Each structure stands twice: as C-alpha cells, then as structure tokens.
Chain A
Amino acid sequence: MTTAAVEHGHGHGDGPDHDDGHEEVIYQETRDMRLLGFVLFLCSDVVLFSAFIFAYLYLRGTIDEWPPILNGHQLPRLDLPFAEFNSIVLFGSGVTMHHALENWKHGKVGRFDFFMGFTIVLGVMFLCGQGYEYSHAAIGGWSGSIFGASFFTLTGMHGFHVFCGVAYLAILWWQTKKGHYDQTHYFGLTAGTLYWHFVDVIWVALFFLFYIF
C-alpha cells in the first residue's frame, strides 16, 4: 500500500527540522487516511463476494431440488463435519491474530511472535484443508453443474484471498523483524489484522451458504 507519509518526508526520527509533536500529528493523519482507504477497499471486496453469492442463490432458486441432479442422479451434499473442523481452524486463526496484535501493542514481542506464527500456520492448515475438500467433493467438478460452479468459484476466490492473506502476514512478520514497526506505529499490522478478520467473516457466510443452507 502507498506510504504517503514517507513521500511527505516522514521518517523515523530523521528530519531534525520537525518537532516530534508535529510529526506525530502527521503520522496520525496519514494513518487515518490509510485506515479509511483500507476499509473502503475491504468494502469493495465484500461487493465482489456478494455478487457471486447472489449468483449462487439465484441459480439455486431456479431449480426445485438442491443439490441439483447431474447425469440422472442427485449430487450429494458437502462434507459438513470436515468443513466444521476446517472452519474452527480458520476462526481460531482469527483469535490468534487478535492476540498477536494485542501483544504487539503492549510490547510483548515474544508472545506476538508466537501468535503471529500460529496464525500463519493455521492459515496454511486451512488452505490444505480446502485442498483436501476439493479433492474429495464429489459434486461433478467445477464445470459439471451450477453446484460446482458456485462452490468452487466462491470458495476458490476465498481461498485465493486466504493465500494472499498468508503471504501478507508473512511479509508483515518479516517487517517487524526488520524494525519497521514500533509500539505506537504499526498500521501495517492493523491492516493485516483487519484483512484477516475480513477473510473470516466471508468464510462465515460461505460456510453457512454451502454447508448448512
């Protein structure tokens, strides 16, 4: 994401012309802008998922029986217990991410490292779980029916977001190692946490729509 603050001469203690109070105000202002921008980005991402969820519900509404019939047989429902387990993995990673951020704010870097690592591991576990689900879901494949079309596309988009999230968290973690953030300047970590919770919220909707509804 852009670093307008850097462009405008904000550094970490450099620039002896500036008094620190002034610099702090500048930092808060740029942080507010970046937070708003990031939240707006997440809003437009919600619209992306909403459009596909609309498509899924619309197509599902055109037929009487769900799951649909393919080649004369009704497709099975998806594996709920496994998805429940995988969901706990993902929601758990949201909890660990929250703790990571809280620990960072309070300067407990060791505990931050633990929770951040745990979050990334859980994220990767979720992705592996999705891989397992994809290989075992007997719903006619991606192009077999509207079931496969909507399920694999929506969860695939979500999985792509999770993958990018894992990469993003890894980069953020590396940045903390390089001293890029301190206990009062850590917008990147806030953004990463927000993004990770966003991915969780989307999964709540998808889990309900495909496994329960």
Chain B
Amino acid sequence: MAHQVTKTKVSLGPYFWLVTAFILVASAIMSYFVYASGWPIGLPEIAEPAPEIDALFKFLGAMGGTIFNIVTGYIIYFAIVFRRKKSDPPDAIGVQIHDNPVLEFWWTVIPTILVVILAIFSTVIWSSLQNTAGDVLTMEAIGHQYYFSFRYPKLANPVNNEMHVPVNVPVTLHVTSAEPGEPPVNHGFWVPEVRLKADMVPGLINTLRFTPTQIGGPYRIICTEFCGALHGTMRATFYIDSQKDFDKWFAKQGGSGGSPGAGGAAGGGAGIALANGNADQGATLFAAKCSACHSVNAFSDKKVGPGLGKIFSDPGHPKLVNGTAPTPADAAAIMKNGYTGDIGQMPDASTNQITDGDIANLVAYLASLSKK
C-alpha cells in the first residue's frame, strides 16, 4: 500500500490568480492586436464580402487565440507548480479528486455558448453571401488545363488569362470546367483578396457573388483544386477598373454596343451575323455547352441529340428537327430559339446563356468540322 502523502485540499497553487490574470490580459492584448491590425489575413479587401469575412476571421483569431492561451498557459503553470520535486518522497501522490461538477458544468456551458455565438455569426455572414442586389454583371469563368478563360455577355469571344470587372457593380460569376476534345478535370477559382472560392466542376455550374469596391490590380486568380502536372502554375490576373476604364478594355476585346451591365447574359438583335465566327472559340464553347447532349461524330451517333459532325457537308443529312434545311443560318436559328417537340427539348440561347457572338462561333466550329 502506497504511503499516502495526499494533499487533502490543495489550494489552486501559488500565483494561480496571477497566472490567470496574465493569461486573460495577454489574450486581451492579442485580441486587440487581431482587431487593430490586418491579421490574420493581411490582404487588401477589394470587394464585398471581404470585410465581413475578415470580421469573422478576426473573431476566430481572438476566440481561438484566447482558448489556446488558456490551455497552454495553465498547462505550463501546472507543470511548473505541481512538478515532482527531488525533495518529495518517492511515493508522493497528487490530490485524489475525480471530478468537480460545478467546474465541469461551466467548462461545458461556456464553450457551448461560444460555439453558438460563432455559429450565429457565421450563419449571418453566410446568408449575406447568398444575396445579390441591384444591377448585376453576370459572367462566366471556365477552367482549363492550365489556364482560365472568361466569358462576358455581349462579347463574342472569351478572354483568356485576364479578368476585368468595373468597380461597384455586383458580379455574379458562374464557374465551370471544360476541355475541348478531352474529358475535363476539376479546377478551383480563388481570388485571395476577395476571399471567395468555388470549385470548377465539369458538368456543374457553381456561382460566386461579390461586388468589387476598390479599383486596382493585378490581383491573383489561383487554381485551388488539383488539376494535373501544372496545377501550381495555373493563374490568371484580376483587375477592378473604373467604369470608364472597364468600358475601354471591354471595347478592345471586341465587345459591341456599350458595356455589359444589367440585362444578363443573353444578347438581343434581329438576325445573327455569322461572318466573324471563330471556330476555335466555338470549339471551347461546344465542349462547355453542347457536348453533354451532342457529339461531333456522324448524325447517327446520338447522345441526347444527334451527332453534329457532318451537319453542313453530308448530302444525305436529314432535315433539322424543326423541319428546316441543315444550313448554317438555320442551325443558328435553332441555337437561338431552341426547340421543343416529341423527341425532346433543345434549350434556347438565353437558357444556355449564349450570345449571338457565341452562336456565330459555334456555327463556325461546326462548319470547320464539316469541311473534313
């Protein structure tokens, strides 16, 4: 039987309250530092909702840091104060307590309250991420191996490697992944200075909403889902321009009729000019928008709709689904207006979110296939 050198009712230990005060003061100073400085992120906040997200980070930093200080501080204190000393008898034992219901109650309840506060705070900020208001620029980002391309309403061709947005205009960014001619892989879209991220998943369209608030650039667009050997180099640049500068840039990209603002993605216009269609852009677009239902093989190679490989060149090609002849103009009309009938439904241009310029490019692409 061990000799009982039990401390029957040990005090909290010398300096306990001093240590406690030190821990709390250190945590308060640290929390002040967290709130006053750019820590923990330290990047500029260039868009809504970056400030709210940063507020959450600061709260997490203060709360988490305090918890860490408490745990580490008391452990160090207990280790020093309650260490076995050489002068202690070899069979010395500690105070034989098993529990303390009051203490356990509080150290369950207080963390629960903190968790509830954190959950409420996070939910409030989460819900602000789900809303957009007012005029909205709806655009797309498409991930490829290993670059980003961006599609704007009323812009015929996508822009590669560089994304511009006008300041103070809410942006709705649809992201996905596409790869002409090959199975596409996942990518990620992240602008650290905006604090938002979405995976670019082939077959899915994910949406980010933010309002740029600070003119500047270049900022970084970074791929954050492993996408292959050069995942580490997959980048694009991001600029927030004044409305004037944005309009200038947009016009240089070939955008017609003023900047895209309200009105969403689908273009208007009577006829569709097919002359300037770009087959390469059309190829990318086909992979992103059409390949779920159409192949580029012969007509008989049906997925949901028929194969479009020889649509303009095959003399025996049947009439199009709406009874018109398989010519570029008639194909463009179907892409514009869609079709609903007993063999299924082809979405129209606004559902597919393609512009007249897109249609021109798609037709050009199909024409290039038909030449082979």
A residues lining the B interface (CB < 8 Å): 69, 71-73
**B interface, size bucket:** under 10
A65: nearest chain-B partner, CB-CB: B344
Q: When chains A and B are docked, how far (Å) is the Cα of A73 from the Cα of B343?
A: 8
Chain B residues with Cβ below 8 Å from A73 are 302
B302: nearest chain-A partner, CB-CB: A72
Q: When chains A and B are docked, how far (Å) is the Cα of A71 from the Cα of B306?
A: 8
Chain A residues with Cβ below 8 Å from B302 are 71-73
B residues lining the A interface (CB < 8 Å): 301-306, 343-344
Chain A residues with Cβ below 8 Å from B343 are 72
Q: Which 4 A-B pairs have the closest CB atoms?
A: A72-B302, A71-B302, A69-B304, A72-B304
A68: nearest chain-B partner, CB-CB: B304
A71: nearest chain-B partner, CB-CB: B302
Q: When chains A and B are docked, how far (Å) is the Cα of A194 from the Cα of B304?
A: 46
Q: When chains A and B are docked, how far (Å) is the Cα of A14 from the Cα of B321?
A: 84
Q: When chains A and B are docked, how far (Å) is the Cα of A71 from the Cα of B344?
A: 12
Among the interface residues B301, B304, B305, B343, which one has the most CB atoms of the partner chain A within 10 A? B304
For this complex, 8 residue pairs linking A to B, each with C-beta atoms less than 8 Å apart, are: A69-B344, A71-B301, A71-B303, A72-B302, A72-B305, A72-B306, A72-B343, A72-B344
A72: nearest chain-B partner, CB-CB: B302
Whole-angstrom distance from the CB of B296 to the nearest CB of chain A?
Answer: 15
Q: When chains A and B are docked, how far (Å) is the Cα of A72 from the Cα of B318?
A: 15
Chain B residues with Cβ below 8 Å from A69 are 304, 344
Whole-angstrom distance from the CB of B3 to the nearest CB of chain A?
Answer: 41
A74: nearest chain-B partner, CB-CB: B344
Chain A residues with Cβ below 8 Å from B304 are 69, 72
Q: When chains A and B are docked, how far (Å) is the Cα of A85 from the Cα of B306?
A: 39
Whole-angstrom distance from the CB of B354 to the nearest CB of chain A?
Answer: 21
- Sample of 10 more A-B contacts, CB < 8 Å, known A71-B302, A72-B302, A72-B343: A69-B304, A69-B344, A71-B301, A71-B303, A72-B303, A72-B304, A72-B305, A72-B306, A72-B344, A73-B302
Chain B residues with Cβ below 8 Å from A71 are 301-303
Q: When chains A and B are docked, how far (Å) is the Cα of A72 from the Cα of B343?
A: 8
Chain A residues with Cβ below 8 Å from B306 are 72
Whole-angstrom distance from the CB of A174 to the nearest CB of chain B?
Answer: 50
